[in-house]
């Protein structure tokens, strides 16, 4: 009897080992890559973005969103240097990635032909509309910078009191900054009732006193910013010192400051302090100063992975979470169909993410929709304004009417 029991125990152990081995064999790891500026220029955005990507993929693996399968996303710092980004991308390809997450406008434009040759879907952190020109494989997470800037211009046209509003644009000296200018001008030609008085590309010297006095002398009532937070913070602090910041939207004799995604958020308030009051800003992301189910989940994720308050409340942390959500969801959908997780099938599934198949992540104010003719993800934009030191919603989410006319 003892020998028989012993044999039974050994057989049971062998079966358990075999089952465990079988599970290991069948569990698959899907490789992705992300190259971005964790340090260097724009790291104030890239650092929390990287944390958002890392945390959501860890969450997806630990909660078994893909069952036994897991995602491994290699994250590398490129310090905002396109040459380093290209090297990182090539090494990711050698490692067998099935989907790629890029960062800057410059590197996305610079690697556009590589993405076409490799036939790999790419989700960048850049929302530059030019990324989509002559491209089949780039998918913007949210509405383009052009759509954001034109939406702000439309808001001005609707809410300005008096004659045609006089507007200046304060932009980054790069393709990233210049991108929306042409579309704003096209919208004016199509009937948008504003006048662009001047377009200013800021330099490294961030003293804006002379520029602001010049804009005031030209009767400028609004400045739409399209750059990153630090130059905007420096400018509005100078404007506050000069006493020219509008206390209400369109206040006569003052300037109302506005900006697209990378100009705003809690980082702007931290940099500018009280000078940020009444700054108007647009993005497609939920922000944690507005409590809802999505922002509660964002804060819970940050807490789960021991992120500090600055990262947890950053809209760029939300941005990173969102691209990881989209990547995870498209892998899940392909897997659910019983298809192989490869570049081709992921690309096809992204293009099918529309209509009843739209995807709604908790990080955004609207659903993600892609198709063969529409590769800008979230079409909805929310305008926020700083009130009593925090960003608050202004109205309901919107879409640009003039971008539809000029496309």
Q: Is residue 13 part of a domain?
A: no
For residue 207, count CB atoms less than 10 angstroms from its CB and return exposed for 0-12, middle for 13-18, buried for 19 or more: exposed
Are residues 192 and 402 in contact, defined by beta-carbon separation less than 8 angstroms? Answer: yes
Q: Are residues 225 and 266 in the same domain?
A: yes
**Ramachandran sector of residue 162 (left: φ over 0; alpha: ψ -120 to 50; beta: rest):** left
Task: Count Cβ atoms below 10 Å from residue 161 Cβ, excluding itself.
Answer: 10
How does strand 381-387 pair with strand 280-283?
antiparallel
Q: Is residue 17 part of a domain?
A: no
Closest-CA residue to 363 (of 407, 398, 312, 404): 312
Q: Are residues 278 and 151 in the same domain?
A: yes
What is the C-alpha to C-alpha distance for residues 315 and 384, in angstroms, rounded to an integer?
A: 12
Q: How many Cα atoms occupy the beta-carbon half-sphere of 138 within 13 Å?
A: 29
Cα dihedral across residues 174, 179, 182, 187: positive or negative: negative
Structural domain containing residue 213: 146-283+383-406
Q: Are residues 218 and 239 in the same domain?
A: yes
* Tokens matching residue 371: 């198709």
pLDDT at 23: 47
What is the C-alpha to C-alpha distance for residues 25 and 19, in angstroms, rounded to an integer?
A: 10
Block means of pLDDT (10 residues each) for the chain, 407 residues, are: 52 53 70 96 92 98 97 97 97 98 96 97 96 96 97 97 94 92 96 96 87 97 95 96 96 97 93 96 97 97 97 96 98 97 98 97 98 95 97 96 89
Bridge partners for 390 per DSSP = 387
pLDDT at 12: 53
What is the C-alpha to C-alpha distance for residues 201 and 171, in angstroms, rounded to an integer?
A: 5
Rg (alpha carbons) of the chain, rounded to whole number: 24
Domain total for the chain?
A: 2
pLDDT at 26: 79
How does strand 140-142 pair with strand 165-171?
unpaired
Q: Are residues 270 and 401 in the same domain?
A: yes
pLDDT at 195: 97
Q: What angle do CA 187, 172, 217 make, to 5 degrees?
A: 70
Q: Are residues 335 and 267 in the same domain?
A: no
Q: Is residue 49 part of a domain?
A: yes
pLDDT at 175: 87
CATH code assigned at 47: 3.40.50.2300
Q: Are residues 316 and 228 in the same domain?
A: no
Q: Are residues 151 and 254 in the same domain?
A: yes
Q: Are residues 269 and 338 in the same domain?
A: no
pTM over 0.85: yes
How far is CA 347 from each of CA 103, 115, 344, 381, rounded to the nearest angstrom?
Answer: 19, 12, 5, 25
Q: Are residues 134 and 154 in the same domain?
A: no
pLDDT at 203: 85
Q: Is residue 112 part of a domain?
A: yes
Q: Are residues 246 and 370 in the same domain?
A: no
pLDDT at 11: 54
pLDDT at 165: 96
Q: Is residue 220 part of a domain?
A: yes
């Amino acid at each position: 009897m003892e020998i028989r029991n012993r044999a039974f125990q050994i057989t049971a152990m062998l079966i358990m080992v075999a089952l465990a081995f079988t599970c290991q064999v069948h569990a698959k790891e899907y490789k992705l890559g992300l190259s971005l500026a964790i340090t260097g220029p724009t790291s104030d955005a890239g650092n929390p973005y990287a944390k958002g990507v890392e945390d959501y993929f860890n969450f997806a693996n630990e909660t078994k969103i893909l069952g036994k399968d897991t995602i491994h996303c290699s994250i590398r710092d490129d310090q905002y240097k396109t040459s380093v980004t290209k090297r990182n991308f090539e090494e990711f390809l050698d490692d067998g990635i099935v989907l790629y997450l890029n960062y800057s406008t410059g590197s996305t434009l610079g690697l556009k032909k590589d993405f076409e040759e490799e036939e790999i879907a790419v989700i960048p952190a850049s929302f530059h509309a030019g990324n989509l020109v002559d491209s089949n494989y780039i998918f913007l997470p949210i509405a383009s910078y052009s759509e954001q800037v034109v939406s702000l211009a439309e808001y001005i046209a609707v809410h300005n009191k008096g004659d045609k509003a006089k507007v200046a644009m304060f932009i980054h000296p790069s393709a990233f900054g210049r991108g929306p200018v042409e579309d704003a001008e096209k919208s004016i030609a199509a009937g948008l009732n504003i006048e662009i008085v001047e377009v200013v590309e800021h330099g490294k010297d961030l003293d804006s006193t002379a520029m602001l006095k010049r804009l005031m002398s030209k009767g400028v009532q609004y400045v739409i910013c399209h750059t990153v937070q630090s130059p905007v913070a420096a400018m509005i602090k100078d404007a506050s010192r000069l006493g020219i910041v509008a206390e209400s939207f369109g206040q006569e004799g003052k300037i109302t400051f506005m900006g697209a995604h990378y100009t705003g958020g809690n980082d702007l308030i931290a940099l500018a302090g009280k000078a940020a009051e009444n700054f108007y800003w647009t993005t497609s992301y939920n922000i944690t100063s507005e409590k809802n189910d999505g922002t509660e989940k964002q804060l819970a994720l940050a807490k789960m992975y021991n992120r500090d308050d600055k990262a947890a409340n950053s809209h760029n942390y939300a941005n990173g979470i969102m691209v990881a959500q989209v990547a995870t969801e498209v892998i899940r959908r392909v897997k659910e169909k019983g298809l192989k997780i490869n570049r081709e099938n992921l690309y096809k599934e992204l293009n099918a993410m529309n209509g009843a198949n739209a995807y709604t992540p908790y990080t955004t104010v609207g659903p993600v929709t892609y198709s063969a003719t529409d590769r800008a993800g979230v079409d909805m934009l929310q305008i926020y304004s700083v009130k009593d030191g925090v960003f608050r919603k202004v109205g309901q989410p919107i879409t640009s009417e003039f971008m539809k006319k000029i496309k």
